[in-house]
Chains A and B, each alone.
Chain A
Amino acid sequence: MSSVMIEFDRMRKTFGGHVVLESIDLTIPQGEVAVVVGPSGSGKSTLLRCINGLEKISGGDLRVDGVSVLGPERDMRRIRLEAGMVFQQFNLFPHLTAIQNVMFGPIRARNQSKAEARDIAITLLEKVGLSHRMDHYPSQLSGGQQQRVAIARSLAVQPKIMLFDEPTSALDPELRQEVLRVMQTVAQEGMTMIVVTHEMGFAERVGSRLIFMDAGRVVHDGKPADVLANPPSDRMRDFLSHVH
């Protein structure tokens, strides 16, 4: 019996008059590794950004660990503590070293002591294979290293859910694997994850579920192996032929 972590309930999102997401119904149980794919402009990133309130939803409801994103700001902050986010552009704090970046969440969001935060940060930097670079500033790290620090930074807040917004799209191909390997480790430890990506290999290897989006709707939703082996629509077959 796994409990529901994220629940989209006929959720809509519009920008001005433009409909970006149309009546989304999705339930993500605990421990799920949902990989979201689809052409650009299909609304995948917006879907992710709605979960931790970086975008406000326009209709319906969206509950994260039982808390609605429509609630007061206090609720939103509670959701954000539980749903960590990893960005395409890493977004590491440039004025802080790698370890200070990872300590940031525990200290500033969780009000933990510096010593506690340091222990957490060292453990996580070891896990992402960067303990030897912990005193480097982001600009002194490669893209792959920056993204691994960013993953550690999110994990340090001890979320129940991790959201990945095209985490490897800004990276050169040879740097992607080191990031995907870290993500796989996190998935294997039982983290609930939603990953927006074009990495079909990752979807097949690590994903427990593949969600194909197009024009603001969830078009297919199933086991990655099944969906990839037998694309249920021409639209998806066409999409896959472009990303492979």
Chain B
Amino acid sequence: MNLDWTAAVAALPYLLQGLQLTVVIALVGLAGGVIVGILAGVGLAYGGRSARVVAQLYVAVIRGTPIVVQVMFVYFALPILLGIRIGATEAGIVTIVVNSGAYNAEIIRGALQSVPRGLPEAALSMGLPFRRVLAFVIAPVAYRHALPAMGNQVVNVVKDTSIFLVIGVGELTRRGQEIMAENFRAVEIWTTVAALYLILITVLAYSLRLYERKVRLP
């Protein structure tokens, strides 16, 4: 076995561009997924019958299908159904938002429902409308309950972006595969790709841990 690490060094600029796209898709996906997750999670916890059913259906469909199938659907099937054109990166972002949103919804529902009933009652009994009770009492407490699970979600989202190689999004994994196809340096390239993911995820997970500690209540 002769390993040639100069091949990995030569590939690094190209891989780093891929890493950049991975980070962009992950961050946009996370932000969008949190917004969707809050809407669906609030719907699950406090919505009327119809809102609850819609949210439940959404969560069931997303959790019940593989993300590869979801991105294929968004990229190939949705344009036909809606008569629109959509780029691969956009399809990836839409998929990750919709996908992580469903998992976030369940986390957020659980966190909202874990807030002791007496807290919203105390605020309601002062004459606040429910919207304000949600914003100023339930949300700040629930959000701290949700943080550890959301940390997991961050890691999952970053890793899930690698799946978008199937529709040709030039993120990190895809670029690794492309270089591999040229130079067949499997060990060097995949080790480098793995290391880049590991560094990214470790940094993210550690910053989240720090943040969690910062907002922890005494």
Contact = CB atoms under 8 A, between A and B. Distances in A.
Interface string B125-141: 11111001000110011
Contacts of B127: 77-81, 109, 157
A76 B15 CA distance: 61
Contacts of B126: 80-81, 84, 104-105, 108-109, 154, 157
B217 to A, nearest CB: 6
Nearest to B119: A91
Contacts of B52: none
B132 to A, nearest CB: 6
A81 B141 CA distance: 24
Contacts of A140: 218
B132 A108 contact: yes
Contacts of A244: none
A94 interface: yes
Nearest to B140: A95
A140 B217 CA distance: 10
Contacts, number: 68
Nearest to B132: A108
A84 B125 contact: yes
B125 A89 contact: no
Contact of B217 (A54, A78, A105, A137): A137
B118 A94 contact: no
Given A54-B121, A93-B137, A108-B136, A139 B129 contact: no
B128 A139 contact: no
B143 to A, nearest CB: 9
A124 B141 CA distance: 25
A166 B182 CA distance: 77
A54 B217 CA distance: 28
Interface string B12-40: 00000000000000000000000000000
Contacts of A108: 123, 126, 128, 132, 136
Nearest to A89: B118
Nearest to A79: B127
Nearest to A156: B126
A52 B125 contact: yes
Contacts of A139: 217-218
Nearest to B139: A95
B187 interface: no
Contacts of B123: 93, 104, 108
Nearest to B122: A91
A105 B119 CA distance: 13
A85 interface: yes
Interface in B97-135: 116, 118-119, 121-129, 132
B144 interface: yes
Interface of B: 116, 118-119, 121-129, 132, 136-137, 140-141, 144, 217-218
Interface of A: 52-54, 73, 77-81, 83-85, 87, 89, 91-95, 104-105, 108-109, 137, 139-140, 150, 153-154, 157
Given A52-B125, A92-B122, A109-B128, 11 more contacts: A73-B129, A78-B127, A80-B127, A83-B125, A91-B116, A94-B141, A95-B217, A104-B123, A108-B123, A108-B128, A109-B127
13 contacts: A52-B125, A54-B125, A78-B127, A85-B125, A87-B118, A89-B116, A91-B118, A91-B121, A95-B140, A105-B126, A108-B126, A109-B126, A150-B122
